Amino acid sequence: MYVAAVSLGLGGIAYTFIIWGWWIPVVPALLILVINNGAVLSAFYQHERFLRFQIKLRQHTIEKTFVEIHNGPLQTLANILRHVQDRDLEQHQLLEELKNLNYEILEVGEHLKLEALEKDESLRPGSGLILD
C-alpha cells in the first residue's frame, strides 16, 4: 500500500518536472523502493510466521506434558494420598507405591523424549501400558 502511494507520488513529481522541462530519473528510485520494501516485508513476515509456529509448538508441548503427567503420576499420587488418609496402607506397601510413583515420573520423561522423535498418538495409563 505504502509502496504504491509513494510510487504514484514519485510518478506525479516526475511528470510535473517533465512538464516544467526538467528530467529526473524515477525508474531507479522506484526499483530500489520496490525491491527493498518487498525483501524487508517478506523477511519480517517470514520471521513472524516462524515465531508464531514456535509459540504454538511450545503450547502444544506444555499441554501434552500436562496430559501425560495427569494421566499417570498424578493419578497414582491421588491414590496414595487416599490410602494414607484412610490409613489402610502398611509402610512397606506405601514404600512400594512411592517407588512405583517414582518409576512413573521417570517413564513420563522418557516417553516425552521418545514422542518428540516420533509422531504417533497414544495413551499411557499409570500401569505402563501404551494404548494407540
C-beta separation of 86 from 51 below 8 A: no
User: Does some domain include residue 7?
Assistant: no
User: Does some domain include residue 14?
Assistant: no
Over the stretch 42-78, which tens digit does the pLDDT of each residue have? 888 899 999 999 999 999 988 988 888 888 888 888 8
User: Does some domain include residue 9?
Assistant: no
Cell of 64: 501434552
pLDDT of 52 reads: 96
Over the stretch 77-118, which tens digit does the pLDDT of each residue have? 888 888 888 888 788 888 888 898 888 888 888 887 887 766
Distance CA 83, CA 106 (A): 23
87 DSSP 8-state letter: T
User: Does some domain include residue 47?
Assistant: no
User: Does some domain include residue 91?
Assistant: yes
Q: Is 131 helix (H, G, I), strand (E, B) or coil?
A: strand
Domain residue limits at 122: 72-132
In this prediction the pTM is 0.52
Provide DSSP, 15-30: HHHHHHT-----HHHH
Angle between helices 27-71 and 73-86 (to 10 degrees): 30
User: Does some domain include residue 112?
Assistant: yes
Count of domains forming the chain: 1
User: Does some domain include residue 67?
Assistant: no
User: Does some domain include residue 46?
Assistant: no
